[in-house]
Amino acid sequence: MTRGSLIVFEGCDKSGKSTQCKKLVEYLNNHGNQAEQWRFPERSTEIGKVINDYIEKKCELHDRAVHLLFSANRWELVPLMKEKLESGVTLVVDRYAFSGVAFTSAKGLDFEWCKSCDRELPTPDKVFYLDIPIDEASTRGDFGGERYEVSSFQKTVQEKFQQLQDDSWEIIDARNTIENIHKLLCESTLKIIENNKENPLKMTLF
């Protein structure tokens, strides 16, 4: 049995992550690879419901408390994540711990503290970062609806994302067309799946 890959998409709100995740999963499933689209926060769990209320500004929470909830929302899904990956399913994940660190540290909390609770999560095989100037993202869709969809805050988030980038990240110009980005992602992902299928999953995030 060969394992699936853990593919993570990061980027600011309205950078096109959800659109690309969906298209990539469809492509993989149509080309002989089992794949599922995941997202964090996963709003359907009990923890996720509290996060959802917070994001939709229906309740207030302490900044550290909500950070820990976002992290707990990932940890509660790790057993299922490992089971899927080990049974050969590639997971295409819309946001992960990098969003956790970028958004909370953008509020002024200590960067290393933000990283600490996600330490030793499954390590992504690739992070695709959809890069777009905030002034352009803010004109897309319903930017402005949820708690963090404020241009000035998103600019700080973007700086924090830059601090997290390393060699395992592929930076993609999100101003390109949906189809061009999709094509590039498909090619890249097929190689990642092939290159990692015999490698054990690492649990070494941060």
Is residue 103 part of the contact set for ligand TMP (CB under 6 A)?
yes
Is residue 10 part of the contact set for Mg ion (CB under 5 A)?
no
Question: How far from chain centre, in Å, is Cα 87?
Answer: 21
Q: Within 117-146, which residues bind ligand TMP (CB under 6 A)? A: 146
* Residue closer to ligand TMP (CB basis): 28 or 77: 77
Distance CA 35, CA 84 (A): 9
Interface size with Mg ion, residues (CB under 5 A): 1
Is residue 41 part of the contact set for ligand TMP (CB under 6 A)?
yes
DSSP 44-109: TSHHHHHHHHHHTTSS---HHHHHHHHHHHHHTTHHHHHHHHHTT-EEEEES-HHHHHHHHHTTT-
**Bridge partners for 37 per DSSP:** 92
Distance CA 206, CA 204 (A): 6
Is residue 99 part of the contact set for ligand TMP (CB under 6 A)?
yes
Is residue 4 part of the contact set for ligand TMP (CB under 6 A)?
no
CB 186 within 8 A of CB 27: yes
Is residue 100 part of the contact set for ligand TMP (CB under 6 A)?
yes
User: H or E element: which one contains 179?
Assistant: helix 178-196
Closest distance to Mg ion from the beta carbon of 138 (Å): 12
* 148 touches, from Mg ion, ligand TMP, none (C-beta below 5 to 8 Å by class): ligand TMP
Closest distance to ligand TMP from the beta carbon of 115 (Å): 12
Is residue 125 part of the contact set for Mg ion (CB under 5 A)?
no
Is residue 11 part of the contact set for ligand TMP (CB under 6 A)?
no
Kindly tell me which residue out of 5, 12, 13, 102 binds Mg ion, with binding defined by CB under 5 A.
13
The contact set with Mg ion (CB under 5 A) reads 13
